[in-house]
A and B are shown apart, each in its own frame.
Chain A
Amino acid sequence: MIRFILLQNRQGKTRLAKYYVPLEDSEKHKVEYEFRTHKVIYRRYAGLFFSLCVDITDNELAYLECIHLFVEILDHFFSNVCELDLVFNFHKVYLILDEFILAGELQETSKKAIIERMGELEKLE
């Protein structure tokens, strides 16, 4: 399962952090540098690093592509996403993430389904 997901820029500023395991706040801040017993799958898009911490037995490539799918969804939603979009709309990113991953597992893998769902939610605001 996914233990946490992190999105950081090259300066190490966190743009998104979501934990599916209970960690103390101090651990959360530390975790961004070290995490021993699991593996971190990461991918860089321009200046942004997307990292997933997953179980040691998990399928690496599947999670690597899971990152890409997430990026595609963000790209679609923000039409040509850039770091600033994520900074100023971090709350939206959390919403999208909640439609994509839940309880540390993939919930929905259809870009279309997620974008449609976001449309529904925007109407409610």
Chain B
Amino acid sequence: MALSGMRGLSVFISDVRNCQNKDQERLRVDKELGNIRTRFKNEKGLSPYEKKKYVWKMLYIFMLGYDVDFGHMEAVSLISAPKYPEKQVGYIVTSCLLNENHDFLRLAINTVRNDIIGRNETFQCLALTMVGNIGGRDFAESLAPDVQKLLISSSCRPLVRKKAALCLLRLFRKNPDVVNVDGWVDRMAQLLDERDLGVLTSSMSLLVALVSNNHEAYWSCLPKCVKTLERLARNQDIPQEYTYYGIPSPWLQVKTMRALQYFPTIEDPNTRRSLFEVLQRILMGTDVVKNVNKNNASHAVLFEALALVMHLDAEKEMMSQCVALLGKFIAVREPNIRYLGLENMTRMLLVTDVQDIIKRHQAQIITSLKDPDISIRRRALDLLYGMCDITNAKDIVEELLQYLSTAEFAMREELSLKAAILAEKFAPDLSWYVDVILQLIDKAGDFVSDDIWFRVVQFVTNNEDLQPYAAAKAREYLDKPAIHETMVKVSAYLLGEFGHLLARRPGCSPKELFSIIHEKLPTVLSSTIPILLSTYAKILMHTQPPDPELQNQIWGIFNKYESCIDAEIQQRAVEYHALSRKGASLMDILAEMPKFPERQSALIKKAEDTEVDTAEQSAIKLRAQQQMSSALVVTDQRPANGTPSGIQLSLVKVPSMSINEDQNMAEQGLSHENGILSKVDPQTPSADLLGDLLGPLAIEGPPGTDVQSQQNIVSGLENVPNTVEAAAIVPVEEQTNSVQIGIKAEWRAHQGRVVLFLGNKNTSPLVSVHAIILPPSHLKIELSLVPDTIPPRAQVQCPLEVVNLRPSRDVAVLDFSYKFGNNMVNAKLRLPAVLNKFLHPISVSGDEFFPQWRSLSGPPLKLQEVVRGVRPMPLLDMANLFNSFRLMVSPGLDPNPNNLVASTTYYSESTRPMLCLIRIETDPADRTQLRMTVASGDPTLTFELKEFIKEQLVSIPTALRSPMAATPAPPIPQPTSPAAALTDPGAMLAGLL
């Protein structure tokens, strides 16, 4: 069957295949495209057959990866062909070449509708298929009722109805606001009784979409779903052709169980019992068999059943059955099943009371760490990390350490990080923790990030009991040959601080310590030398009475580095040298480091980051649902410097922690330190000579700083006069710990193209994501579909088109909500689609300006107002401000140097481009007032523009004035949370508007 039935097409395909290289292929393709283009140009001579052939060729070329930027019209026009062969090509090629945003598609709506409501079944199918694949909003608006009719029509064959079901599904998914499904509950319930499996499969998909949107409305479908599942899994009551390797349509079973997961619980005891019976049957009746396909299919069903069981919070007995099953899976040969077994076990950790049962499989999970498949090894690592607690920490961490020496490079960093975190979290005693970290550094120094050794230093500093032990350990490692640079750093640091505690031990005199550390100096990088210099200074300080020989030796080193080219080394050498000559006062200056304030472990932060990588690398197989591994729950460390922020907490934390966090709020400024409640000094201790070393620990700054710096960026960009065609890119970021919303905008005349970037910063998905634009009446805004779920650590982009209809200062609001854990979070953000975005600066000469100015005489076209309470600023700043709003200042046009004249063009859909003229007369004696005159050809525009400018000029009482000065209107959308409103100039400004 190698003939396509169209000779020309086959010849072309052969030609392309015979090309020796890419260049030849391109030549051949270009030639063909040229040919098609010419043929399409004089369309009159084209027979339907030829047209069909060319359109297929276009699709083929497109599929090969070449751009096809013409001929779309021809493809679309084939849809209206009267005969099936041409029509079919038109439909198929159109739905491959175009997407829902294409304007050409609108041209076809009428034909498509006629095909759908017509009598020809084949045409109905073609039309439904295309709308189902690429139908957009226009199609939803004009076709949804017809499609709905077909779906429930008793006279249509199943063939048409299954297509109608999925077509409706698409229209609903894309435009739930347009497709009216009121009263569809009963129809859906009816559809679920359908005997034809094709229609039932399609209807089940439709149900999933409907239920996920509004589960409450579809309660009555729940028992039907259970019945369907019984029919398939228990009674096997379906035609032979719908069984797949002996399994009754695994896909329909999976879909049905998916639908059931959207209902929060099952209240009716009978339904619940029947469902559990079926689930039990699935769980128990699935065996691992030889045939791969059968295996996959039955396990697809099984894993879905497991998900449903977890969702339903089944009894403990059933849960332990599930765990037992999973335990079996993680030991089978089939890698896909091992993978899913581990993954599902990780998810199981979230279910209470099963941890102990999971622990029984620890040995097998540890074996999986050595699996040949890296994604399985990663799963195993995640699972071990998640299941680790105080009882098994020692075993697991030691296992990880052992594995570290053989693990491949790609996993080592994650592995060492996780081992470090577990050791810190679950250490039965602190000396064990020190052992683990030092072993980590010893075995995989290259993969141990600085954070890890910073953390151990922090721990040792804060725990006096630990200090001699840690110092002794560090000393031991120094005896080893060729130790890792990080080991040199940490040992040097520890011995500098606490080496004197070892003084009486053999080999630990100051001199001996110095010489063994100094041996390493020639081998280290210049970034380590400052640490060694500090250590020398400390050793010197601890050597009482001073040992002149040692002193001279060390001074000699300081002396040598005083002329070092590295500024850090040089500075330390100079300072230590000078300080160490001060005798007794040296003791104060170089005294032991004070305890560190308890900070959020930088490691845990790091863990979140590392998990990004994992998520991305294995995203292929990652099922995001409830992916929150218990590891991340440890973020209940208090925020840095005891300044918790209301917004942060309410949005971010997982539910189980919220109580904890509330306490944080209550006891601000207090911190537990090794169980003792003490005041925490928010400042870094001033004697912190070595503080820079530990800098990275203080990653968490007060959230306020962040916001402000972002604003500065924004205002900075806005200040740049927009000389080129209005393509301003305004990076606006709204950021909380869980969501990041960014905006990129491009404005051209009266239109704007804005892309919202919705980023999920968590390691669990954001679900029930809704974003609605509440546009003011003067803007037409179309938001493309926002996905319901944002996967972990992912960002979705939602383009929106803005059209300005008429002048107004109202602001469009983005109503954004999502579900995090069990909490609905809602934020309303202003979009930067403000008046001045539709302005285009224009420079006018005096000859143009004055006649225009005179011709627009008096209200309502020309308005004048004396504005008081103006933020005082030099005239030059005001000119810059105007330019940044795209009001182009024409210097020298007004003879009075205290005045300022500006001009701009305003674009809207309803009017032609309108010239606007502005004149500001300032009073050098009183900069807080000025007289403003605005003129344009449209009264509303004049008024709105005048008010707009006024808003920018009057001063707004806020402490943080500077970043606002250049901030046009409210370019920064802010949540309407009260906490934000208090601290945030953007929000205040928005409030005042």
Contact = CB atoms under 8 A, between A and B. Distances in A.
B167 A102 contact: yes
Given A61-B340, A109-B242, A125-B84, A85 B1 contact: yes
Interface in B88-102: 88-89, 92, 96, 99-101
A55 B767 CA distance: 13
20 contacts: A1-B173, A14-B63, A14-B65, A24-B99, A37-B619, A38-B619, A38-B791, A55-B789, A56-B622, A58-B623, A59-B300, A61-B299, A69-B244, A89-B1, A103-B170, A107-B163, A109-B201, A111-B241, A113-B241, A124-B84
Contact of A105 (B56, B169, B242, B616): B169
Given A16-B63, A105-B205, A59 B620 contact: no
Interface in A18-70: 18-20, 22-25, 29, 32, 36-41, 55-62, 64-66, 68-69
Given A98-B133, A110-B242, 10 more contacts: A17-B63, A22-B134, A56-B789, A61-B296, A61-B299, A68-B293, A103-B167, A109-B251, A109-B252, A124-B84
Given A36-B794, A65-B297, A110-B241, A20 B765 contact: no
B201 A60 contact: no
B300 A102 contact: no
A39 B250 contact: no
Contacts of B10: 88
Contact of B621 (A14, A39, A87, A125): A39
Contacts of B790: 37
Contacts of A84: 2
A96 B304 CA distance: 28
A62 B17 contact: no
Interface residues of B, number: 82
A109 B197 contact: yes
A22 B122 contact: no
Nearest to A78: B1
| 8 interchain residue pairs of minimum CB distance | A61-B300, A22-B99, A103-B170, A62-B300, A37-B794, A103-B132, A105-B205, A102-B166
B765 A57 contact: yes
Contact of A57 (B63, B163, B336, B623): B623
Contact of B336 (A23, A61, A117, A125): A61
A78 B706 CA distance: 62
Residue of A32, A79, A88, A102 with highest tally of chain B CB at under 10 A: A102
Contacts of B159: 117
A60 B251 contact: no
A98 B84 CA distance: 16
A10 interface: no
Given A62-B304, A88-B3, A88-B10, A57 B625 contact: yes
Contacts of B2: 84-85, 88-89
B202 A107 contact: yes
A103 B623 contact: no
B619 A36 contact: yes
Given A22-B100, A62-B251, A37 B623 contact: no
Contacts of B84: 124-125
Nearest to A62: B300
A55 B784 CA distance: 18
Interface residues of A, number: 63
Contacts of A66: 251
Given A61-B303, A103-B166, A125-B85, A19 B619 contact: no
A13 B134 CA distance: 24
Contacts of A102: 128-129, 132-133, 163, 166-167, 202
Given A37-B791, A79-B1, A85-B1, A64 B623 contact: no
Contact of A103 (B169, B201, B251, B784): B169
Given A37-B794, A124-B122, A105 B166 contact: yes
Given A36-B616, A65-B300, A107-B201, A60 B621 contact: yes
A19 B84 CA distance: 24
Main secondary structure, interface of A, reads mixed
A95 B300 CA distance: 27
A106 interface: yes
Contacts of A85: 1-2
A25 B67 contact: yes
Contacts of A41: 620
A110 B170 contact: no
Contacts of B3: 88
B60 A90 contact: yes
Nearest to B196: A113
A16 B960 CA distance: 58
A124 B123 CA distance: 11
Contacts of B4: 88-89, 91-92
Nearest to A25: B67
A17 B88 CA distance: 18
A100 to B, nearest CB: 11
Nearest to B100: A22
Nearest to B795: A37
Contact of A39 (B59, B63, B198, B620): B620
Interface in B4-57: 4-5, 10, 13, 17, 56
Contacts of B92: 91, 94-95, 98
Contacts of B621: 39, 60
A40 to B, nearest CB: 5
Contacts of A110: 197-198, 239, 241-242
Contacts of B765: 56-57
A74 B325 CA distance: 35
B162 interface: yes
A73 B163 CA distance: 19
Contacts of A108: 162, 198, 201
Nearest to A19: B99
Contacts of A20: 133
A107 B133 contact: no
B250 A65 contact: yes
Nearest to B301: A62
Contacts of B65: 14, 29, 32
Interface string B759-786: 0000001000000000000000000100
B300 A109 contact: no
A54 to B, nearest CB: 10
Nearest to B5: A125
Interface string B938-978: 00000000000000000000000000000000000000000
Interface in B445-459: none
Nearest to B797: A37
A35 to B, nearest CB: 9
B55 to A, nearest CB: 10
A106 B201 contact: yes
A25 B65 CA distance: 9
A92 B85 CA distance: 12
Contacts of A125: 5, 84-85
Interface in B479-517: none
Contact of A107 (B162, B297, B622, B795): B162
A16 B10 CA distance: 16
